[in-house]
Amino acid sequence: MSTVDAPRSPYARTQRSGTNWEKWGWMYMRASGVVLVVLIFGHLFVNMVSGEGVRAIDFAFVAGKWASPFWQVWDLLMLWLALIHGANGMRTIINDYSSSVALGKVLRGAVFLSAAALIILGTLVIFTFDPCPSVSPDQLGMLPSFCPPQ
């Protein structure tokens, strides 16, 4: 009695070389999600709970916060992590549901360009924000208290 081996499949696994971007995207989503929870709840606590609550949020409140490098970095991290997190999520949805390769490329390009534009504009706003702009005399009450008299 002899044993007959089943015919082998012609498929052979090949070792992938290079970076596994899907794995790193998956890991980014988990890590950024945890950090975003901390950043967002800290943001909500400072803006809504401490002090006078939501009624106190105005130009002077934002100017006072962004006068501190700590809050600039906090808001910058929140902006970058949230936009990249959201863009990566949209990329995943596009990969799962796009009906053609060309449509997927166009949609992923649109998501990339919109996320990049928002990141650039948001970063510019955070770092070029002037808390003491020149205003007319009737608007002086809206300036933060640390602004020098005009």
**Selection from 29, 33, 52 nearest residue 41 by Cα:** 33
pLDDT at 137 exceeding the cut of 80: no
Instruction: Give the 3-state secondary structure percentages of the chain, helix then strand then coil, rounded to 5.
Output: 70, 0, 30
pLDDT of residue 29: 95
Residue 15: phi, psi to the nearest 5? -75, 125
Coil vs helix vs strand at 99 = coil
For 70-127, the pLDDT digits (tens) are 999 999 999 999 999 999 999 999 999 999 999 999 999 999 999 999 999 999 999 9
The dihedral sign for the CA sequence 41, 73, 115, 30:
negative
**Rounded to whole angstroms, how far apart are CA atoms 23 and 20?**
6
Q: Which tokens sit at 25?
A: 């995207």
Is the pLDDT reported for residue 6 higher than 60?
Answer: yes
What was the pLDDT predicted at 109? 97
For residue 1, pLDDT beyond 60: no
In this predicted structure, what is the pLDDT of residue 2? 59
User: What are the pLDDT digits (tens) for 139-150?
Assistant: 666 666 667 776
CA dist 59 and 64 (Å) reads 8
**Which position has the higher pLDDT, 69 or 11?**
69
Q: pLDDT tens digit string along 25-80?
A: 999 999 999 999 999 999 999 888 887 778 888 877 888 888 889 999 999 999 99
Q: Is the pLDDT of residue 130 over 90?
A: no
What's residue 87's pLDDT?
A: 97
The rounded distance, in Å, linking the Cα atoms of 143 and 141 is 6
Contact of 32 with 85, CB cutoff 8 Å: yes
